Structure 1
Amino acid sequence: MKTQAFVPLVTHPEANSDAFGAHATAAAAILGAGIHALAVNASIPKVSNALSRMLLDTPELIRQAETASRERGNQLLAILKEKAAATGVDFTGEAVSAPLPLMTEVAADRARYYDLSLVGWEAGNSTAQATAEAVVFGSGRPTILLPELVDISSFNHIAIAWDGTRVAARAVADAQSLLKHADRVSVLTVIDEKPLKEKAPEERLASALRQRGVDAEAVTITGQDCPIAQTLQQTAIERGCQLLVMGGYGHSRLRDFVLGGATQGVLSSLLMPVLLSH
């Protein structure tokens, strides 16, 4: 059975960049996966009152916004289809319209039907960030975040952010197929960010991975008052890692997710491809 990757495309109010098409197909090729892309276009409620027509011509503004959203969705689908054909990646795509408050929820719901999601991330793009958060916490599937300014060439050296928790273990399990094909794995544990349940958990995981034939090395990190997400990503980058695997920490409070520090940091400032699993 072939792996299928879900690729949500955000179109409004801030759309994915053209670069995402190349990044998503490159990642899919590395994973040996086909792509199913979904352009989520905006459906904006019509406003019908005399004042809105006289002062702003609101119905026309709504029509223009919806048209721009559909056109951008079609452009992104066309770019993905072209890049997929060039890299030999199987591709299917479709477009749906959704009300503004439900666009990210539609993406998360559709992601449940696939093995994993590939989500584009651009600095300052709050729509892409909200979509990533919704897919990570709402799909029940692992999500690989792909930053706009980082080219994807391979996942031969993978870093794991490890603290021995259930969420971290879930992330490692979701990344098994990647780990077993990697040339090297670095297990990263930050020792001064929060109390750990056991001493040297990174050594225990590295040893367990080596028993399975993975070339794994334990790496102990001190945060030195640096944000945890930046510490993990910078350490991974300095070691030559191309992917960081980590658990997505968060809990619901009145239906809003309160994110853990590392998760929030990654979603806010993504420096490299990151596999998040919740």
Structure 2
Amino acid sequence: MRRQALVPFVTYPEAVTDAVTINAVAMAAKLDADLHALAVNVDIPPVSNALSRFLLNTPELIRQAEIKSGKRGMEMLTAVAKQAKQFDMDVTTKTLVAAPALLGDVAAKQARYFDFALVGWEANNATSQMTAEAVIFGSGRPTILLPELSTIGALDHIAIAWDGSRVAARAVADSRLLLERATRISVLTVVDEKPLDEGEMGERLAEGLRKRGLPAEAVAIRTADCPIGVTLQDHAIESGAALLVMGGYGHSRIRDFVLGGATEGILNDLRLPVLLSH
């Protein structure tokens, strides 16, 4: 059975660069997945305020923003199709429009129909972070974040961020197909960041994976006064891991969405591809 992966491109207010298309196609190839590219362009409701119409020329500003968004969406879809030819990969493309406040929600809902969502991440690009948050917490599907400056290599060494939680267990289950193909699995447990429910939980997971025939080892690490998201990524990179698997923590509080410390650290400073499940 061929796996199916979606890469959503939200094009407003700031679309990602073509580096995301390169990484998305490369990751889909590593997953042996068919790739589906989605452009989510903006459809801004008309403004009825007379002052906005006549003094600020808001209708024209809206028209220009929508044209720019649509043009960039087409460019992204074309770039994906062109890049995919190098891998002899089939790509399907689709375009949807949504109001500014619903762009991320549309991407998340579309991702529910696929095995993986591939989301590009770029430093100082608020749209890419918004898209990542929406898909991670709204799709119900494993989401692989792809940093713009990272080259997608062989997924032979995978690191797992493990704290024994429900979301961490969900991430391990969601990454099973990738873990079964790895030649090395490192189970990373941060032992000085928060109270853990039981001792040696990293070794317990590693042992369970080994009983399933997977080459897993437990690694206890310390934060060393660094944010936990940085600690996990740095250890994964230093050990040569090509992908970090972890649970995505987040919950609603009044009108704000509150991220867990590790998840926030990942979304603020992504250093390698990370598979997040919520």
Q: TM-score range by the shorter chain?
A: over 0.9
Aligned residue type for 2:227: P
1:5 maps to what in 2?
5
Matches within 5 A, 1:101-140: 101-140=101-140
Amino-acid identity (%) = 62
**How many aligned residue pairs are there?**
278
Q: CA deviation at 1:53?
A: 3.6
Secondary structure of 2:45's partner?
Answer: coil
Q: CA deviation at 1:255?
A: 5.4
1:170 maps to what in 2?
170
Q: CA deviation at 1:49?
A: 4.4
C-alpha distance in structure 1 between counterparts of 2:265 and 2:70, whole Å:
31
Secondary structure of 2:272's partner?
Answer: coil
1:275 maps to what in 2?
275
TM-score (norm 2): 0.98
Secondary structure of 1:82's partner?
Answer: helix
1:68 maps to what in 2?
68
1:214 maps to what in 2?
214
Residues 153-201 of structure 1: CA deviation (Å, up to 9, x unaligned): 2211100000111111110000000001011111000000000011111
Matches within 5 A, 1:199-278: 199-254=199-254, 256-278=256-278
Contact 1:144 1:275 in 2 (8 A): yes
Secondary structure of 1:155's partner?
Answer: coil
Residues 130-153 of structure 1: CA deviation (Å, up to 9, x unaligned): 111010011110000000000112
Secondary structure of 1:181's partner?
Answer: coil
Aligned residue type for 2:221: I
C-alpha distance in structure 2 between counterparts of 1:83 and 1:244, whole Å:
25
Moved over 3 A (4+): none
C-alpha distance in structure 2 between counterparts of 1:54 and 1:5, whole Å:
46
C-alpha distance in structure 1 between counterparts of 2:151 and 2:109, whole Å:
28
Aligned residue type for 2:113: Y
Secondary structure of 2:5's partner?
Answer: strand
Aligned residue type for 1:21: T
When structure 1 is superposed on structure 2, of 41-50 and 112-121 the one drifting more is 41-50
Contact 1:48 1:59 in 2 (8 A): no
Structure 1 spans left out of the alignment, 5+ residues: none
C-alpha distance in structure 2 between counterparts of 1:115 and 1:252, whole Å:
25
Q: CA deviation at 1:50?
A: 4.0
Q: CA deviation at 1:214?
A: 1.2
CA RMSD of aligned residues (A): 1.0
TM-score (norm 1): 0.98
C-alpha distance in structure 2 between counterparts of 1:49 and 1:252, whole Å:
33
C-alpha distance in structure 2 between counterparts of 1:223 and 1:153, whole Å:
27
Secondary structure of 1:205's partner?
Answer: helix
1:90 maps to what in 2?
90
Aligned residue type for 2:64: Q
C-alpha distance in structure 2 between counterparts of 1:254 and 1:111, whole Å:
26
Q: CA deviation at 1:226?
A: 0.8
C-alpha distance in structure 1 between counterparts of 2:135 and 2:50, whole Å:
40
Secondary structure of 2:38's partner?
Answer: strand
C-alpha distance in structure 1 between counterparts of 2:222 and 2:36, whole Å:
40
Structure 2 spans left out of the alignment, 5+ residues: none
Contact 1:29 1:88 in 2 (8 A): no
C-alpha distance in structure 1 between counterparts of 2:243 and 2:109, whole Å:
25
C-alpha distance in structure 2 between counterparts of 1:50 and 1:218, whole Å:
65
Contact 1:116 1:143 in 2 (8 A): yes
C-alpha distance in structure 2 between counterparts of 1:50 and 1:101, whole Å:
23
Residues 221-278 of structure 1: CA deviation (Å, up to 9, x unaligned): 0112210000000000000001000000112223542111000110111011000001
2:154 maps to what in 1?
154
C-alpha distance in structure 2 between counterparts of 1:130 and 1:176, whole Å:
27
2:33 maps to what in 1?
33
C-alpha distance in structure 2 between counterparts of 1:88 and 1:156, whole Å:
22
Structure 2 CA distance for partners of 1:55 and 1:167, relative to 1, 3 Å: same
